[in-house]
Structure 1
Amino acid sequence: MRRSDWHPGLIPDLQDKTLLVTGANSGIGLEAVKQFADKGATVIMACRNTGKAEEAARAVRQHTPGAQLDFLPLDLADLASIGQFADAVKARYGAVDVLLNNAGLMAPPLQRTRDGFEMQFGTNHLGHFALTGQLVEVLEAAPAPRVVQVSSVMHRIGKFYWDNLNAEKWYSRWAFYGQSKLANLVFARDLNRRLETAGLKARAYAVHPGYSATHLQDTVIGGQIINKIMAQPARMGCLPGVMAATSDAVQPGGYYGPNGRFLELRGYPAPSYARRIASNRQVAQRLWDVSETLTGIRYLNDSSAH
Structure 2
Amino acid sequence: MTTSWSALDIPRLGGTSAVVTGANSGIGAEVALYLVRAGARTVLACRSRERGVLVRERIRAAAPGADVRLVVLDLADLKSVREAAVRIGGEVDGHLDLLVNNAGVMALPLRHTVDGFEMQFGTNHLGHFALTGHLGGLLGAGPSRVVTVSSLGHRLGRIEPGNLNSERGYDKWRAYGRSKLANLLFTAELDRRARAAGRPLAAVAAHPGLSSTELGQAGPKMSGRAWAAKLERVSRLYTQPASAGALPVLRAATDPAVTGGEYFGPSRLGETRGAPAPAARSARARDPESALALWEASVELTGVDPDPATWEAPAS
Q: TM-score, normalization: structure 2?
A: 0.91
Larger mean CA deviation between 246-255 and 99-108 belongs to 246-255
Using the TM superposition, give the Cα deviation of residue 299 of structure 1 relative to its aligned residue in structure 2, in angstroms.
3.5
Which residue identity is paired with 2:101?
N
Which residue identity is paired with 1:86?
A
3-state SS of paired residue (2:139): helix
Looking at structure 2, the residues matched to 265 and 167 of structure 1 have their Cα atoms a distance apart, in angstroms, of 28
Identify if the C-alpha distance between structure 1 residues 96 and 3 changes in structure 2 by more than 3 Å, giving closer, same or farther.
closer
Looking at structure 1, the residues matched to 174 and 285 of structure 2 have their Cα atoms a distance apart, in angstroms, of 17
1:16-27 maps to which residues of 2 (within 5 A)? 16-27=15-26
Counterpart of 1:276 (choices 275, 283, 308) is 283
Looking at structure 2, the residues matched to 53 and 89 of structure 1 have their Cα atoms a distance apart, in angstroms, of 15
Do residues 289 (structure 1) and 300 (structure 2) align? Answer: no
Which residue identity is paired with 2:76?
A
Which residue identity is paired with 1:259?
S
3-state SS of paired residue (1:91): helix
3-state SS of paired residue (1:171): coil
Looking at structure 1, the residues matched to 154 and 301 of structure 2 have their Cα atoms a distance apart, in angstroms, of 22
Looking at structure 2, the residues matched to 299 and 265 of structure 1 have their Cα atoms a distance apart, in angstroms, of 31
Which residue in 1 is equivalent to 2:271?
264
Instruction: Detail structure 1 runs of 4+ shifted over 4 Å in the superposition.
Output: none
Looking at structure 2, the residues matched to 34 and 71 of structure 1 have their Cα atoms a distance apart, in angstroms, of 13
Number of residues paired by the alignment? 300
Which residue in 2 is equivalent to 1:140?
140
3-state SS of paired residue (2:162): helix
Q: TM-score, normalization: structure 1?
A: 0.94
Looking at structure 1, the residues matched to 160 and 235 of structure 2 have their Cα atoms a distance apart, in angstroms, of 29
CA RMSD of aligned residues (A): 1.6
Unaligned runs of at least 5 residues, structure 1: none
Instruction: Determine if contact 2:205/2:263 at 8 Å carries over to the other structure.
Output: yes
Which whole-Å deviations, capped at 9, do the CAs of 1:8-65 have from their partners, x for residues lacking one? 1111111111010000110000000110111111100000111000011111122111
Larger mean CA deviation between 180-189 and 250-259 belongs to 250-259
Looking at structure 1, the residues matched to 9 and 274 of structure 2 have their Cα atoms a distance apart, in angstroms, of 16
Instruction: Determine if contact 1:192/1:252 at 8 Å carries over to the other structure.
Output: yes
Which whole-Å deviations, capped at 9, do the CAs of 1:79-98 have from their partners, x for residues lacking one? 00011111122234211110
Using the TM superposition, give the Cα deviation of residue 301 of structure 1 relative to its aligned residue in structure 2, in angstroms.
8.3
Which residue in 1 is equivalent to 2:171?
172
Do residues 234 (structure 1) and 242 (structure 2) align? Answer: yes
Which residue in 2 is equivalent to 1:127?
127
Unaligned runs of at least 5 residues, structure 2: 221-227, 312-316
3-state SS of paired residue (1:162): coil
